[in-house]
Amino acid sequence: MRVFPATVTPDGRRIVGARALRGLVDGFVSVLLASYLSDAGFSPFQVSAIVTGTLLGSAVLTLGIGLMGYGIHRRTLLLISCGLMCATGLGFVTITAFWPLLLVAIVGTMNPSSGDVSVFLPVEQALLAEAAEDHDRTALFARYNLGGLFAAAVGSLSVGAPLALGVALGATRVDAQRWSFLVYAVVAVALLWLYLGLRSEQQAGRGASSPLRESRSIVFRLSALFSLDSFGGGFVVQSLLTLWLFERFDLSVEVAGAIFFVAGLLSALSQLAAPRLAARIGLVNTMVFTHLPANGLLMAAAFMPNAYLAVGCLLTRMLFSSMDVPARQSYTMSVVPPAERAAAASVTNVPRSLAAALAPLGAGAMLEATSFGWPLIVGGAIKATYDILLWLQFRSVPPRAAGTAEAPSSAPAERR
């Protein structure tokens, strides 16, 4: 059995490896962040403000790449991002006051979600879309996401290890968690080495003041819908779900890490089914009909009377919630010309990051008022609305690459 599709280039393999490494540290800090800030005495609203800062910073950085990165080698953009990532980790180690820490969150690359909302994403997606033939694209994106999700699960589980080590060495619980952010900086150095090995010398764009031309309309429509989904997701990023579990059921960081480890494994396993499902029923149907049940389970978790039932809903949700991701990425890349893919990746990801950044403050205010799962209900309802609108608007818009195995033009939901 092949690990990668037959047509994947060495750069494609290296990018998937980098995504797994970032997933490892993202899963680690997504649980650590809420635990550390809570133990350090920050209120739920302050925790959500820092989470908002991380998402807002990612959006601004991604926008900068979209607006000013054209003409710069993609590898150079990734290397610069690694330097900023290292500085972010060191900032969380050395700074303890709220306002300076908020500034680090805004200008840095910290990801409060086990999913990928980082500045690396649009550059990697554009490179990945060119790293395999059209018929292998969805499978490659599935491996890309699968590696990140498996690694994020391991990162979530391992969050207790440096904490236990620090306490054993005589550090306080808060200091042990603070020094754990060094892991984030070390991984940034490892990523730097990986990206240095990229062979592609393509640039993010050349000489076009308006890189989106032929696909402008469809990309803007997709961007608006993806932003709605991301806004809903901002209420339930993993750091805030961790905070809700702390506030509602008084779970420990070690238990939360174990829960998100299992959640990550389930989410990763679901990615394996995405390419076959997309080939069978179409990319848009895959995005919608796997996402809707997941959002219903998210809302149901808010009403559960104990931790066992709530966690059961959240874990069952993870069997479906990420299956749409490779389908969404592949569909976006397939409905635009190859020359416009880098711009499309940036334009669709920047509004998603901005929309996600708006939600955590509201979620934090809800959690400060009550431990009931209002963020889960609001987030789930918004995401379900996105699913319905996406199906209504794009069920008849097929990919450009007609007749491929990943999304045949004869699929019932995507026939003109």
- For the cut 80, the answer to whether the pLDDT of residue 161 exceeds it is yes
The pLDDT tens digits for 49-95 are 998 898 888 777 777 766 565 567 888 889 999 999 999 999 999 99
Q: What is the mean pLDDT of residues 32-55?
A: 91
User: Does residue 180 sit in helix, strand or coil?
Assistant: coil
Angstrom distance (rounded) from CA 108 to CA 92? 10
**CA neighbor of 116 nearest in space, from 41, 40, 24:** 24
With 0-12 / 13-18 / 19 or more C-beta atoms within 10 angstroms meaning exposed / middle / buried, residue 360 is buried
Contact (Cβ atoms closer than 8 angstroms) between residue 211 and residue 205 = yes
With 0-12 / 13-18 / 19 or more C-beta atoms within 10 angstroms meaning exposed / middle / buried, residue 128 is buried
- CA-to-CA dists, residue 208 to 65, 99, 219, 337, angstroms: 14, 39, 17, 15
Q: What are the phi and psi torsion angles at 73 (to 5°)?
A: -60, 140
Q: Which of 190-199, 226-235, 270-279, 355-364 has the lowest mean pLDDT?
A: 270-279
Contact (Cβ atoms closer than 8 angstroms) between residue 411 and residue 288 = no
Instruction: Scan for tokens 């960081």, then name that residue.
Output: 253
- What is the pTM for the complete model shown? 0.77
Angstrom distance (rounded) from CA 321 to CA 349? 18
pLDDT band at 272 (very low <50, low <70, confident <90, very high): confident
Instruction: Scan for tokens 């950044």, then name that residue.
Output: 357
Residues in contact with 5: Cβ distance below 8 Å, sequence separation at least 6, in sequence order: 132, 136, 139, 140, 143
The pLDDT tens digits for 367-404 are 999 999 999 999 999 999 999 999 999 988 887 654 33
Report all structural domains of the chain as residue ranges with CATH numbers, in order of start. Answer: 10-200+215-408 (1.20.1250.20)
Contact (Cβ atoms closer than 8 angstroms) between residue 23 and residue 158 = no
- CA-to-CA dists, residue 7 to 41, 200, 391, angstroms: 52, 16, 31
